Amino acid sequence: MHIERQKEDKSRVDSTFGMGHIFKEVPDLIPAEIQRGLNTSIIGKTIEYYREVKSTNSVAASMADDVEDGTTIITEIQTRGRGRRGRIWASPRGGIWLSIVLKPRMPAARAYRLTIAAGLAAAKTIRAYEIDAKIKWPNDIIIGNKKVCGILTETEAEQLKYAIVGIGVDANIDTRLFPEEIRDRSTSLQTELGESIDRVEFIKRLLTGFEYEYLRLYKQFPQILDEWRYLLATTGKRVQINNPSTTIYGKAVGVDREGALIIKCDDGFIERIVAGECIHASI
């Protein structure tokens, strides 16, 4: 079942970057095509499609109480896409911007597992295009040292009434048009492959892959974590960890069974990092 909605904001902005004539070339997604042959039983069973919203995570949160597990919100453009740490997430036409409402039976303290499952699914989906995508702790998908996908998980209530997993993939985007401050650190599937991808096919694979991980979260989290660890580019690297109160420098030596990053700090101490921005040092 899908419900097609017009954009919530009437003032059409064809491109987040004011270069609408370039992005108009990308054809709209057709939700019925995403659902045709989609073999999932939870994720994407209901898809809500918009041409333009501020943020799919916000739309998902506004309806989360009333929708079923796995309801997926997809849009062509976000005018106020949200990244982690309160950052803006540039979301022009051609990308894949979606949020999934989840209603798992787990305490909120375990919501990080959803992010790990989503990161693994996103990395595997991209790798199926013969791209050497890796995970940068905690949940960026990178190609080389450039980011191609970000994940923002937001939760509600201690007993996890619901969680919203927002996934943004720079798919058919000409990264030369990205804002200057992120241009050198970002890439897109189109840039890496030298041609655009079929976004409908990608979304189908991503939703199917995420459902696979979601269903095995309860009983097989250690296996998910092992696969995630295997794709983690951070281990062995010199890193800088930025938290609101501190900056830590050291070498990432691994992740523990909850996905926390273990750092051997330059002062010799071992730190366990559960949250923060991680920068891979170039040396």
Which region among 43-51, 95-103, 184-192, 233-241 touches ligand BTN (by CB under 6 A)? Answer: 95-103
Closest separation in Å from C-beta 138 to ligand BTN: 9
Closest separation in Å from C-beta 91 to ligand BTN: 6
Task: Select from 253, 275, 277, 280 the least CA-distant residue to 264.
Answer: 253
Task: Select from 167, 169, 168, 174 the least CA-distant residue to 196.
Answer: 174
Which region among 28-36, 52-60, 208-216, 217-225 touches ligand BTN (by CB under 6 A)? Answer: 52-60
Phi/psi zone of residue 28: left (φ > 0), alpha (ψ -120 to 50 degrees), beta? beta
Closest separation in Å from C-beta 57 to ligand BTN: 4
Structure tokens at 27: 């054809």
Between 222 and 244, CB nearer to ligand BTN: 244
Task: Select from 57, 40, 49, 53 the least CA-distant residue to 7.
Answer: 53
Structure tokens at 283: 């040396």
Residue 137 lies near ligand BTN (rule: CB under 6 A): no
Between 251 and 275, CB nearer to ligand BTN: 275
Concatenated DSSP letters for 8-75? Answer: SSSS--S-TTS-HHHHTTSPPP-HHHHHTT---SSTTSSEEEEEEES-HHHHHHHHGGGS-TT-EEEE
Closest separation in Å from C-beta 98 to ligand BTN: 6
Binder of ligand BTN out of 16, 35, 46, 57 (CB under 6 A): 57
Question: Which helix (H) or strand (E) covers residue 252, if one does?
Answer: strand 247-255
Binding letters toward ligand BTN, positions 168-207, x by CB under 6 A: x---------------------------------------
Residue 72 lies near ligand BTN (rule: CB under 6 A): no
The amino acid present at 96, given as its one-letter code, is I
Binding site for ligand BTN (CB under 6 A): 55-57, 78, 81-84, 87, 89, 91, 97-99, 140, 150-152, 166-168
